[in-house]
Each structure stands twice: as C-alpha cells, then as structure tokens.
Amino acid sequence: MFAYYFELALRSLKRSRGLTLLMVLAIGFGVAASMTTYSVFRAVSGDPIPWKSSKLFVPQIDMWGPKARDPNGEPPDAMDYTDAMALMRAHRARYQSAMYQISPSVVPADASKHPINVSGHAVFSEFFPMVDVPFKYGAGWTADDDTQRSAVVVISSKLNDKLFGGENSVGRTLDIEGKDYRVVGVTDHWNPQPRFFDVVNTGGFTDGAEDVFLPFNRAIDVGMPNNGNTNCNEVPKESGFVGLQHSSCVWMAYMVQLDDAAAVQAYREYLDGYARDQQKAGRFGWAPNNRLRDVPAWLDAEHVVPSDTKVSLLVALGLLVVCLVNTAGLLLAKFLRRSSEIGVRRALGAQRSAIYAQFLTEAAIVGLAGGVLGLLLTGVGVASVGWVMPKDIASLARLDVSLLAITLLVAVVATMLAGLYPTFRASRVQPAWQLKSN
Amino acid sequence: MKLHPMIAALRRHKAGVVLIALQIALTLAIVCNAVFIIGQRIERVNRPTGLVEDNLMLVTQSWVGAPSGDQPGDVEKLDSLLQADLAALRAMPDVESVVPINSLPLLNSSWTGSVALKPGSDLRAGNARSVYYFGDEHLLKTLGLKLVAGRGFTAADVRNRGFRDSGTPAVIIVTKALADKLYPKGDALGKAIYLDGGSSPSTIIGEVERLQAPSTGSWVNGFLWNATIEPFRLNANFSRYAIRTRPGRLQAVMHAVPDVLYGVSRMRVLDDDSVKSFAQIRQEAYRSDVGMAILMGVVCLILLGVTAAGIVGLTSFWVGQRHRQIGVRRALGARKIDILHYFQMENLLISGAGALIGLGLAIGLNMLLMKHFEMDRLPVLYVLAGIVVVMALGQGAVFVPARRASNVPPVVATRSV
C-alpha cells in the first residue's frame, strides 16, 4: 500500500508544482536556519570532558568579603596566591592543581629565526592525570619535579612540529625566556572547548593553543608573569609580580578531582573549615561563603555559552515554527482542493485510516524534500558561520552525521506534525456531499 | 463595502484564516525583535570612539628575557628598552607621532578602577568607575583626541613606572563624561581627585571630549565613556605603541615597523598579530555584532518571504474554490475592482487580526529576551512600523491572486463547473 500512496503523493505534488515548491522551500529554510544555529549552540554548550566532568570541581573561596560580592552573593571566580597555595599544601583532593595563564617567548635554536610567543599554563604535576591530557610522546612531570622546581616543560604537538619537525623531542631542550627547559612530554592534539580548567582567563573559548605547560613553582620562581586577568579589590601594597603574590588580587584558576559524593562532601567541609580558620585568624572578617561546583555547573555559572548564540537559536526556532504554520496552511489548501477525490475514495470503501496514510505519506515526502534542501542549506550555513560569529566559536561548529540525521528527522517529523490537522480535515470529508455537489 | 458577508464567508474556512493570522502574528513578533536587535547592533558599531581612526595603528611586542620588574633597577632597564623603541619609531619617515600606551578603545584589554572626590574611599564604592589609559605627552596628538578644556601633558609631566607598581600621578586628563559625573557644575578643571581609593591627590589639568573604554563587553557599559589618562610610561616585559602615520602611508609604515624594531633589538617577539591598523582592531571588536545583525537580517528576509508566499498560496486556493461565486457576483453586476477590493479587504481583516495578536507576542518575546539575555525594552515605534510592514506585505502578496480573481469572467456563473 505504501508504494501506492507514494505514487499518489508524487502525482499530487507534481500537479501543483508551485505550491509544492513553496512548501519545500519553507521547510528547507526553516530547518536550515534552526540547524545552523543549533550546530553552533551544540558546539558551545557541549561538555568538554564528558567522561569525567562530574568529578572535576572548581573551588571558590570568599577572600574579599560581603562588600565585593555581586548581587547573588557570589565570591570571586578566581583564586589569590595565598589561598591557592594553602589549598595545594593541604592536598585534600585526589588530584589538584592551581594554575595560571602564561605567555612566554621561545627562542628557536636556529639563530636566523625570530623568537616566538607561545601560550600555555603554569600547572602542578597532578594537572595532567586530572584532566586526562593525552600524550603523543613522554608524559607529564612528577611530584618531585614540582618540589624541586625542575626546569621541565610539556609542549603541544603543534609546537613540537614547529620546533622539532614532529620528532620525539622528549629529553631535548627548549629555550624559554632565555632559560633552558627539558621537554618531558608532547601532548597529542589537545584543545578542549570550552577551556574548562581556566574559564576565567579564556572566556571559555579560545583559538589560542596550549603550547606549553611549565611547573607552577618553577614559573613563580623565575618570575614568569601571568598573562590573564588580574582582579583586585584593593591596590596591592607591594610592587611587582612578588607584590601580586602577596596581595588579595585574584588571578589563578584552581581545579580538584573528587571521585564520589563522600569526597565532595569532605572537601566542602574542608573548605568551610579553612575559611573559618581564616576568620579566627582575623584574615577574613566574615562567615565562610565558599562554592564547589563541578565542571557543567561551573560552565553554567560562568555563562560560557554566549547569549548571542542562545538568542540566535531562539529566533531560528521561531522561524521554523512560522515555516511549519505556513506549511500547515498550504497542506490544508492542497488537501481540501482534492475533496472530491477523497469523496470518491471514501465512497468506494476506503477507510479513514487509509486517507490518513495517504495524506501523511504526502506530508512526509514534502518533509523529506524539505529536509534534503535543508541539509544543503545547513551545509552552506555551517560553512558560513565564520562570517557572522566570532572566530573561536565559529570554528567549533561542525557538520557531522548526527547533525545530518537530526536535520532530516526534524524536517520529516515537523512536516508530518504540520500535516496532521489538514489530514484530519481531509479524512472528515463527507463522501455523499462531495459526490452530490458535482 | 459591507464587512458582514465577508466575515460570514471567512467563517466557512476558519482553519485557513487562523493559520494565516497566526503566521502573521509570529512573523510580526520575530521580525520586530530581530529588527530591534539589528538596530541596536548598528548603533553600537557606529558609536565614535573619540579617536581619529584613519592613519592610526598599534604595535604590540614583547622582549625576550626582559627583567621581571621585581629586582632593583629592573624598571629602569625596561624603560631604556622602551625609550630605544620609541626613538626608532619616531625617526621613521612616514610617522607623524608615536605614544607608548597600555591599550586602545576596542582592544579588549582593559585597566579599570574607580576615582573619588575624597581620599581613601573604598575601591568599589568610589564615586565613579573609570578605565585608565597610560601614555606620554604625545598621547592626545597621536590618538587625535579633542581637548575641550585645559591642556595636554608636557614632557615634564611624564614619569615612568613598573607595570605592576602602584603610583599616583600629580596630574591627569579625564573625559568630559567623567568630569561631568564628578563635578556636575562643569568646574572639574583644576580640581583634585583620588584614584583607586588612594590618599594622594591627582589634579585634573585637561578634559577630552570623548574616549571610549577598551572593552566592548557588557560589564563596562556603566562606565564606557569614563576614562582617566595618566602621564606614565608603563614598563613591563611587553609594550604597545600607537602610531599615527602621514595620510595614506599607513600600509607602508605597517610593513616597515617589524624591521625597524628588529633593528633596535632582535631579542623580541613580533608575530602576525603584532602590527594592526585601527581599522582591523575595530573590525575584530565588532565582528560578532555585525554577524548578529547579518544573521537577524537573513532570518527577517526568510520570514517575510515565507509569509508572503503562504498568503499567496492560501489566497490562490480560496480564489479557485470561489471561482463560481465570483462569476455569480460579476454576473450580478460587480465590477472587476469590486472583486479585487473584496480580496484585499479580506486580507486586511485577517492580517489586522494577526497583527493585533502579533503585537502581544512581540512584547512577550521582548520581555522574555529582556529577562534572560540583557535585552533592552522594545520601543513601541518598532512594533508599529512592524505592523505597517506586515499589513503592506499582506496587501502585496494578496494582489496577484486577487487580480486573477477579478479576471474571472461573469460567464462562469452559467457553467456548472
């Protein structure tokens, strides 16, 4: 029967080409606009480390007090040096790392080449197993390297290609800011977006790569300045980078791994206890006001998904709804125009369900054609988001199999939904009345 | 023309009428808000920064292995590196003037604080938040800022200080917006104010007409035009130089700058992003705004197109359905123009009803956007203009099928289909 309905539908669609084309265009544009904006939304609201994001937490400590809180009572979203080091020393989580963004210069061995700037982070050894950094060669450094302030470095495969021609460079040395560092590891194409471990300094998305990782203590010792945001609620009393470390200014990110609910609870208590101790010691003049959010909650709290992305998606979905209402109207016109045909079929004994099957098939075919057009347009749309969205975000939007499948599915299902009422009306056509009036 | 028979006729195909009205309502709601977004973005992109933007460029570079600034003498070493660069840049033939500066409007690298009329005010509770620009006596000339009161800096006013050191300048220049906020009577010139809750005064020696904050983010909206200029050369391991070139020589200078700086010292980093014209900075800063405006524009065009096509399609169907009735009316003496008017009037009724619903939806959507996405209130003018546009669109779309209807000959009445 389906083959028959299919043929009927094709015939009917051919009969009124203009109307069919109109519906296909409407569905195609509606679906393409929605899917293009959805692909961007999906890219920016995705979980950068799905297998582990519920175990990674960002602690926040209120070192500024009630006067500096925002209307929601949130403490600062970054850490000052004093508290970050206290948390590192206490070492209460499975893994933990304070970190700060750096942008040192690398001097190529070849003297004819100019120095280049690289970006990255100063981190502790536990950073690598904590966020599952993939390695092409070697590995991260050890806890001993942390304490001994070793001159070691982990570099990206991109930097490895540039400086060492892509060879295994583990054990070779790199001149960073005029000092030699031994390469211990090369990361393997690692560029998580959003940059969950340091949202504050990257704004979530960045087209900059993580070219180098240096031991935190080493970076502090050589006075490698932070390249990210510095927020102060009072002017530092001492000058220079050392003065920044002694101040209450916040400029560091901090992440911990807590494997189960009990560990999370214990860490919360530890943070509150720490804040109470600071209160007793007179450093904080207020009750503890800490936060401990896992990665998804943290990304949400930091509003990493740009509001423009959400507004675009909302408006595009509105466009899709209009296109569907439009299609419903046109299908209604099209189906009711064939009232006499329906009357004849019904008079010859066709069930209402047969009418449903026939007209829904027709709607589905329109949806499928619209979906195919929508696919093409979505392809064009995704390819051109670079024109209308910021570079770092546009580069994340991708056309993949799941997006293709969703596009087709949305087109067909939506059109069939739009066809439901017109089909219902068609199935209610009274055979006797139709036959008489002719 | 009487409306009564028309409404009676409309009742006979409720579903089609409701669908068209609904489509017009949704279209109106979305188009109003989308056009409002476009308008806002255009306004944002077109606001002047206060600079003379032609022939202006920026160089950002860093020195390799430069002193950290923490050891005694570090700052002076950094300052001599800076001075050497400045001398080389100022000696270039096509360069009119150069200023070492911490940032520029639209550069998205901000230094903010607050200024107050009294010493020791808490940083956040200061009278006015402000962005800071640091530069030497060439700042006003290089950026092309317009001085509206007082004087610019002289070489004697300018000092140098470490990037992370604190230090209060004896004299400052502020924007008129900040001056008026601090001294609403307009007598800010010569008055002393206190920066960042400090205890030593800084005297306002000049006011510039306008100077935008570096950031384009929404967090800076409250003090976008409040800028304080301090006469400091900031010394860090990196530096920025704003350069004004002779008219038409921008590209030549941009091309020549890297070699000139490498000529001073090779131990520095200059990469692809190091040398930028102000036009590039502007383009990058507003890229997402322009993009959003384009996206909303495309959505509006599709919406209006789809809606117009929908009206054409459904009206055509009705015309076909009523072929015979039209023939009867014509046979009974109705003129062509009467038939045309009938369909136009009918569309006016439907789209009028749709526009009324759309008015509510537009305001509702705007409230939703305001609540969740920092949107402003939609001015009524946009909605009214939107109503006019969708009504006109409806009239335009209905014209083709209505004309076809008016061409139905009276003889149709005598045929039994």
- Tens of pLDDT, residues A239-278: 888 889 999 999 999 999 999 999 999 999 999 999 999 9
For chain B, the domains span 3-46+286-413, 65-266
- The torsion region of residue B103 among left (phi > 0), alpha (psi -120 to 50) and beta comes to beta
Q: Return the ∠ at Cα B270 (arms to B265 and B272), rounded to 5°.
A: 155
What tens digit of pLDDT does each residue of B215-250 get?
988 888 888 999 999 999 999 989 999 999 999 999
Please check whether residue A269 lies inside any domain of the structure.
no
- Tokens representing A65? 């007090």
Is A193 found in the same domain as A66? yes
Q: Are B271 and B87 in contact (CB under 8 A)?
A: no
Q: Are A371 and A403 in contact (CB under 8 A)?
A: no
Tell me the nearest-neighbour CA distance from B406 into chain A, angstroms.
20
pLDDT at B119: 86
Q: Is residue A123 over pLDDT 90?
A: yes
More confident residue, A2 or B193: B193
Mean pLDDT of A323-344: 87
Contact check, Cβ <8 Å, A315/B23: no
- The torsion region of residue A223 among left (phi > 0), alpha (psi -120 to 50) and beta comes to left
The residues near B7 (Cβ < 8 Å, ≥ 6 apart) are B349
- Put simply, whether B370 touches A (Cβ < 8 Å) is no
More confident residue, A56 or A45: A56
Q: How confident is the model at residue A308 (pLDDT cuts 50, 70, 90)?
A: confident
Contact check, Cβ <8 Å, A329/B310: yes
Q: Is residue A131 over pLDDT 90?
A: yes
pLDDT at B192: 92
CB pairs under 8 A between A and B: 182
Contact check, Cβ <8 Å, B310/A235: no
What tens digit of pLDDT does each residue of A272-283 get?
999 999 999 999
Tell me the nearest-neighbour CA distance from B320 into chain A, angstroms.
9
Task: List A residues 370-429 in contact with B (Cβ-Cβ < 8 A).
Answer: 387-391, 421, 425
Q: Which of B62, B306, B417 sits opposite A322 (nearest CB)?
A: B306
Q: Is residue A2 over pLDDT 80?
A: no
- Name the closest residue on chain A to residue B308, using Cα atoms: A326
CB-neighbour burial class of residue A73 (10 A; exposed 0-12, middle 13-18, buried 19+): exposed
Q: What are phi and psi of B58, to 5 degrees?
A: -135, 135
Mean pLDDT of B263-287: 92
Tell me the nearest-neighbour CA distance from B247 into chain A, angstroms.
30
What tens digit of pLDDT does each residue of B309-328 get?
888 888 888 888 888 888 88
Task: Report the predicted TM-score, pTM, of the whole model to 2 decimal places.
Answer: 0.86
Is A108 found in the same domain as A145? yes
Q: How many CB atoms lie within 10 A of CB B7?
A: 12
Instruction: Examine the fold and report which residue of A198, A232, A257 is the final residue of a domain before the chain moves on.
Output: A257
Q: How confident is the model at residue B122 (pLDDT cuts 50, 70, 90)?
A: low
What tens digit of pLDDT does each residue of A188-226 get?
988 888 899 999 888 778 777 799 999 999 999 998 989
Is A66 found in the same domain as A41? no
Is A19 found in the same domain as A168? no
Tell me the nearest-neighbour CA distance from B196 into chain A, angstroms.
7
Chain B environment of A319 (Cβ under 8 Å): 30, 299, 302-303
Tell me the nearest-neighbour CA distance from B385 into chain A, angstroms.
19
pLDDT at B408: 87
Please check whether residue A285 lies inside any domain of the structure.
no
pLDDT at A435: 66
Contact check, Cβ <8 Å, B306/A25: yes
- Put simply, whether A241 touches B (Cβ < 8 Å) is yes
When scoring A15, A81, A205, A330 by the number of chain B Cβ atoms within 10 A, the one with the most, hence best to mutate, is: A330
What tens digit of pLDDT does each residue of B33-48 get?
999 999 999 999 999 9
Is A83 found in the same domain as A6? no
**What is the average pLDDT value for chain B, to the nearest integer?**
90
Q: Which of A177, A243, A425 sits opposite B64 (nearest CB)?
A: A177
Mean pLDDT of B371-378: 86
- Put simply, whether A116 touches B (Cβ < 8 Å) is yes
Is A186 found in the same domain as A73? yes
Chain A environment of B296 (Cβ under 8 Å): 315
Chain B environment of A26 (Cβ under 8 Å): 306, 309-310
Please check whether residue A145 lies inside any domain of the structure.
yes
d(CA A164, CA A108): 10
Instruction: Examine the fold and report which residue of A194, A227, A257 is the final residue of a domain before the chain moves on.
Output: A257
Q: How confident is the model at residue A437 (pLDDT cuts 50, 70, 90)?
A: low
More confident residue, A4 or A126: A126
- Put simply, whether A313 touches B (Cβ < 8 Å) is no
Q: Return the ∠ at Cα B315 (arms to B312 and B320), rounded to 5°.
A: 120
Which of B41-45, B172-176, B202-206, B368-372 is predicted with the least confidence, judged by mean pLDDT? B368-372
pLDDT at B416: 59
Chain A environment of B295 (Cβ under 8 Å): 37, 312, 388
Q: Which of B16, B198, B288 sits opposite A329 (nearest CB)?
A: B16
- Put simply, whether A435 touches B (Cβ < 8 Å) is no
> 3-class secondary structure for chain A?
CHHHHHHHHHHHHHHCHHHHHHHHHHHHHHHHHHHHHHHHHHHHHCCCCCCCCCCEEEEECCCCCHHHCCCCCCCCCCECHHHHHHHHHHCCCCEEEEEEEECCEEECCCCCCCCEECCEEEECCCHHHHCCCCEEEECCCCHHHHHHCCCEEEEEHHHHHHHHCCCCCCCCEEEECCEEEEEEEEECCCCCCCCHHHHHHHCCCCCCCCCEEEEHHHHHHCCCCCCCCCECCCCCCCCHHHHHHHCCCECEEEEEECCCHHHHHHHHHHHHHHHHHHHHCCCCCCCCCCEEEEHHHHHHHCCCCCHHHHHHHHHHHHHHHHHHHHHHHHHHHHHHHCHHHHHHHHHCCCCHHHHHHHHHHHHHHHHHHHHHHHHHHHHHHHHHHHHHCCHHHHCCCCCCHHHHHHHHHHHHHHHHHHHHHHHHHHHCCCHHHHHHHC
Mean pLDDT of A300-308: 88
Chain B environment of A251 (Cβ under 8 Å): none
Please check whether residue A293 lies inside any domain of the structure.
no
Q: How confident is the model at residue A429 (pLDDT cuts 50, 70, 90)?
A: confident
d(CA B17, CA B30): 20
What tens digit of pLDDT does each residue of A348-367 get?
888 888 888 888 999 999 99
Contact check, Cβ <8 Å, B123/A233: yes
Q: Which of A117, A225, A421 sits opposite B269 (nearest CB)?
A: A117
H and E: helices and strands count for chain B: 10, 14
- Put simply, whether B376 touches A (Cβ < 8 Å) is no
pLDDT at B37: 93
Chain A environment of B30 (Cβ under 8 Å): 315, 318-319, 322
Which of A366-375, A389-398, B81-90, B175-184 is predicted with the least confidence, judged by mean pLDDT? A389-398
- Tokens representing A280? 């007793």
pLDDT at B133: 96
- The torsion region of residue B110 among left (phi > 0), alpha (psi -120 to 50) and beta comes to beta
- Put simply, whether B14 touches A (Cβ < 8 Å) is no
Task: List B residues 150-179 in contact with A (Cβ-Cβ < 8 A).
Answer: 162, 164-166
Number of structural domains chain A divides into: 2
Tell me the nearest-neighbour CA distance from A4 into chain B, angstroms.
26
Instruction: Examine the fold and report which residue of A235, A257, A279 is the final residue of a domain before the chain moves on.
Output: A257
**What is the average pLDDT value for chain A, to the nearest integer?**
89
Tell me the nearest-neighbour CA distance from A334 into chain B, angstroms.
8
When scoring A38, A332, A388 by the number of chain B Cβ atoms within 10 A, the one with the most, hence best to mutate, is: A388
Is A36 found in the same domain as A181? no
Is A313 found in the same domain as A191? no
pLDDT at A7: 85
d(CA A78, CA A84): 10
Contact check, Cβ <8 Å, B306/A29: yes
pLDDT at A95: 96
- Put simply, whether B302 touches A (Cβ < 8 Å) is yes
Is A345 found in the same domain as A203? no
Q: ipTM value, please give it.
A: 0.85
Contact check, Cβ <8 Å, A105/B317: no
Tell me the nearest-neighbour CA distance from A213 into chain B, angstroms.
18
Mean pLDDT of B149-163: 93
- Tokens representing B165? 């050191």
Contact check, Cβ <8 Å, A389/B296: no
Tell me the nearest-neighbour CA distance from B28 into chain A, angstroms.
10
Contact check, Cβ <8 Å, A239/B123: no
Please check whether residue A280 lies inside any domain of the structure.
no
Please check whether residue A170 lies inside any domain of the structure.
yes
What tens digit of pLDDT does each residue of A89-110 get?
999 999 999 999 999 999 888 8
Is A75 found in the same domain as A25? no
Please check whether residue A282 lies inside any domain of the structure.
no
Is A197 found in the same domain as A113? yes
Which of A13-22, A155-164, A214-223 is predicted with the least confidence, judged by mean pLDDT? A13-22
pLDDT at A262: 95
pLDDT at B283: 92
Range of the domain at A30: 1-47+306-428
Q: How confident is the model at residue A86 (pLDDT cuts 50, 70, 90)?
A: very high
Is A133 found in the same domain as A252? yes
% of chain A at pLDDT higher than 90: 54
Q: Is residue B199 over pLDDT 90?
A: no
Please check whether residue A263 lies inside any domain of the structure.
no
